[in-house]
Structures are given as structure tokens and as C-alpha cells.
């Protein structure tokens, strides 16, 4: 007895959602019950690589099959789209891609993930920037994003909550403006030539901000009173360590959880007036840069973090032992993870200092350096 086929269509479609769209369509040959179930899928995932990587046919034939597959899938599709992912390269012309993106927008897409490469495309469909159903948008695009003439980036996407911007070319962008009243999560990764760009963020509901990139020309951040967690990793060379990111650190000083690379810590400590992180309870620091010639380290930041309860750090960022014990170490710090420990006098003295003055310490984890 085929009990699976007796399940309601909604449950069967939920099962199919765990398959790739290509495999989900193949199930249509199982029986008449399954024949048109794929047209009710709410998650659509189209990846050109699935059609070319293991196919013995010429690439041109595989691409034609891919174009036909996506086109027919969207033609027969009967319901709204929750998640839409498209990954393809320069062999797929822009007319097809524009049509597919518009099809997703017209079907009320909520989560859109685009990984596309072009040499003859300068923008995305205007309708994308006015999509009122969009909640999460991830762009991995290999061309300059020419945003339509709206007041702010994505300002018409009234339900947008999650934005990931990766490998965006900011060469010709003076003001990169992200202002949205519902935006909760913003990630900016590895943009190109952002040295003259001014990053403007005005998002009163932003809770999570991740920035892994070069220092931009300037920062204007407003209404970040809801910020909870921040991850900052500045990609800079030795001769760029004088770059100024004071405005960024000042506006995130009410954060509760902060993760910094060693270069980010260096720029933070170079601020003329070190911000007070009055609400920060968790701090994680990882070291990817030599501290040999740096004057300040973790000890300076501890004095500006009175409520710190959890600390995870590479021992190299603690350059010297504070003469005056930071109040957080005496009264607040409960959990500490000490990484890159070596059996030498310097490391041993650092651990002894934490144990001696950790008045509220409940757990200390020591991770040894890899040999």
C-alpha cells in the first residue's frame, strides 16, 4: 500500500521542498498523484551547475536544457513563492534572467537569493526594488549594481528584514544608502574599491550587523538603538591602519555582543576618544594580524566594558596586564576562553592575572596553540 501518496498535497509538497527543484520535478513520473505536485512548490532552486557539472552533453546543449527547464517550471507553477534561488553565469542571457526574477516578484517572493555573473548587464529589474513581499535578499553579483532612482536603497521593499550584500562594486557609488524601518539583519561582505564610498545606514530595528570589508570613505549610522550583535572584520594592510572608523564604533557602542578581528580592535583603540560599551555582555576577539608593534590591546577595551560577562580572546590581543583591575573583571566576568596558549612566562602570567582578579569568574577555558 502506497501510504505516502495518500498524504495531503501540503505535506507532500513539504517533503519535496527538501529536494532540489530538479529532483522534485522528477517525482512527477511516480504516479498520477505526483504528476503535478511540483507545480505547488513554494521553494524554487535553479542552479545551472546541476545541469552542466556531470552532464556528458556539450555545454551548449546543457544550457538549452536548463533554460527550457526553468521556463517550463515557471510557466506551470501555480502558487506563491516563498524562497527563490537562482545561480547561473554569463552563458545565460540577461533577458531570461530578467524574466525569471520578475516571475519570482510577481509570485510574491519572500526570500530571494541571486548568484549571477554578467558582462553586458548593469542593473536588475526595477520591480525588484519595489517588491513589497520581500523579506530577505542575498545578492552575489559580478557587475556594478545600478540602483533605480529611489530615495534610498530598497526603500520600496516595505517588508524587507534581511539583506546580504556580497562582492558589490562600489567604485562609482558616492553614497551607499541603506535606510529601512523594518530591516533586522544586514551583512556586507568583500566589496570592491570602497575607499571613496560613504556608507549610510538608518535602520531603527536593525539587530544584527556584519561587516567584512575594507574601511570605506566614511560612515553615517543613525537610529541603531536596537542593535544587539555586531561582527566587524576590517580588511586592511599595514599601511592602512591609520584609517578612521570612529563613527562606526560610536554608533554601535550600545551593542550587547561584539565580535572583532585584531585589525578591527586596532582601529577601535585608535579612536581619539574610546567609546564606552555600557551594554556589552559578550566580546569575542580573534587574531589574524601581528600585535608585535601595537601599543594598545584588549586591556584598554576592558576598561570601557563595565558589564562584560563573557570574553573569548586570543592571548596575543592582551598586550599588557592592566595596572588598575577593570571593574568588569572584578565584578561581572563569568566565562572566559583563552586561546593560543603557550607554555611560556607571558601566557602563564596572563592566566594568573585573570584567575586572581576574576571575582565573578565561573568558567575558564584554555586552548593551547597548535604545534
| Sequence-distant (≥ 6) Cβ neighbours of residue 198 within 8 angstroms | 174, 175, 176, 216, 217, 218, 219, 220
* Whether pLDDT at 227 is above 80: yes
Burial of 301 (C-beta count, 10 Å sphere; 0-12/13-18/19+) = buried
Contact (CB, 8 A) for 183 and 203: yes
Q: How many helices (H) and strands (E) does the chain have?
A: 10, 16
How many C-beta atoms surround the C-beta of residue 291 within 10 A? 19
* Whether pLDDT at 179 is above 80: yes
pLDDT in tens, 319-369: 999 989 999 999 999 999 999 998 899 999 999 999 999 999 999 999 998
pLDDT value, residue 356: 95
| Sequence-distant (≥ 6) Cβ neighbours of residue 108 within 8 angstroms | 80, 81, 133
Give the residue, 209 or 127, on which the prediction is more confident: 209
Nearest CA-CA partner of 147 in 104, 85, 200: 200
Contact (CB, 8 A) for 213 and 234: yes
| Sequence-distant (≥ 6) Cβ neighbours of residue 230 within 8 angstroms | 208, 209, 210, 211, 252, 255, 257, 258, 259
pLDDT value, residue 90: 67
What is the DSSP track for 274-300?
Answer: PPP-TT--EEEEE--S--TT-S--HHH
Nearest CA-CA partner of 147 in 181, 164, 170: 170
* Whether pLDDT at 26 is above 90: no
Give the residue, 230 or 1, on which the prediction is more confident: 230
Per the prediction, the chain carries an average pLDDT of 85
pLDDT band for position 70 (50/70/90)? very high
Contact (CB, 8 A) for 51 and 89: no
Cell of 86: 537562482
Domain boundaries, the chain: 1-41, 42-305
Distance CA(66)–CA(324), nearest Å, equals 66
Distance CA(22)–CA(69), nearest Å, equals 8
* Whether pLDDT at 242 is above 60: no
Give the residue, 174 or 254, on which the prediction is more confident: 254
pLDDT in tens, 203-226: 999 999 999 988 888 888 888 889
pLDDT in tens, 274-321: 999 999 999 999 887 666 657 788 999 999 999 999 999 999 999 999
Q: Please, what is the end-to-end C-alpha distance for the chain in angstroms?
A: 59
Distance CA(223)–CA(207), nearest Å, equals 11
* Whether pLDDT at 119 is above 70: no
What is the DSSP track for 60-97?
Answer: HHHHHHHHHHHHHHHHH--S--SEEEEEE-TTS-HHHH
Distance of CA 135 to the CA centre of its chain: 15
Cell of 304: 570601557
253: Cα within 13 Å, side-chain hemisphere: 18
Amino acid at each position: 500500500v502506497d501510504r505516502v501518496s495518500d498524504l495531503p498535497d501540503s505535506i507532500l509538497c513539504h517533503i519535496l521542498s527538501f529536494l532540489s527543484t530538479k529532483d522534485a520535478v522528477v517525482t512527477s513520473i511516480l504516479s498520477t498523484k505526483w504528476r503535478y505536485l511540483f507545480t505547488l512548490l513554494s521553494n524554487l532552486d535553479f542552479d545551472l551547475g546541476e545541469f552542466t557539472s556531470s552532464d556528458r552533453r556539450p555545454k551548449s546543449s546543457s544550457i538549452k536544457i536548463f533554460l527550457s527547464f526553468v521556463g517550463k517550471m515557471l510557466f506551470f507553477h501555480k502558487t506563491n513563492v516563498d524562497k527563490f534561488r537562482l545561480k547561473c553565469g554569463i552563458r545565460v542571457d540577461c533577458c531570461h534572467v530578467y524574466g525569471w526574477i520578475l516571475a519570482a516578484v510577481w509570485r510574491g517572493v519572500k526570500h530571494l537569493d541571486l548568484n549571477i555573473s554578467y558582462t553586458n548587464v548593469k542593473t536588475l529589474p526595477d520591480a525588484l526594488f519595489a517588491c513589497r513581499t520581500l523579506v530577505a535578499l542575498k545578492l552575489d553579483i559580478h557587475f556594478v549594481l545600478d540602483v533605480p532612482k529611489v530615495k534610498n536603497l530598497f526603500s520600496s521593499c516595505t517588508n524587507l528584514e534581511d539583506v546580504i550584500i556580497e562582492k558589490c562594486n562600489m567604485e562609482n557609488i558616492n553614497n551607499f544608502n541603506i535606510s529601512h524601518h523594518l530591516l533586522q539583519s544586514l551583512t556586507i561582505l568583500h566589496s570592491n574599491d570602497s575607499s571613496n564610498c560613504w556608507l549610510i545606514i538608518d535602520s531603527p530595528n536593525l539587530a544584527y550587523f556584519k561587516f567584512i570589508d575594507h574601511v570605506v570613505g566614511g560612515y553615517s549610522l543613525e537610529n541603531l538603538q536596537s542593535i544587539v550583535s555586531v561582527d566587524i572584520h576590517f580588511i586592511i594592510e599595514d599601511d592602512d591602519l591609520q584609517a578612521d572608523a570612529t563613527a562606526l564604533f560610536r554608533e554601535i557602542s550600545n551593542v550587547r555582543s561584539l565580535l572583532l578581528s585584531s585589525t578591527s580592535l586596532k582601529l577601535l583603540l585608535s579612536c581619539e576618544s574610546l567609546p564606552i560599551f555600557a551594554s556589552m555582555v559578550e566580546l569575542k576577539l580573534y587574531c589574524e594580524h601581528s600585535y608585535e608593534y601595537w601599543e594598545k590591546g584588549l586591556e584598554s577595551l576592558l576598561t570601557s566594558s563595565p558589564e562584560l560577562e563573557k570574553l573569548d580572546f586570543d592571548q596575543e590581543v592582551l598586550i599588557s596586564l592592566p595596572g588598575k583591575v577593570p571593574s568588569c573583571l572584578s565584578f561581572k566576568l563569568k566565562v572566559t576562553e583563552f586561546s593560543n596558549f603557550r607554555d611560556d612566562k607571558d601566557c602563564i602570567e596572563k592566566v594568573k592575572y585573570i584567575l586572581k582578579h576574576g571575582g565573578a569568574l565561573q568558567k575558564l577555558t584554555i586552548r593551547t596553540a597548535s604545534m
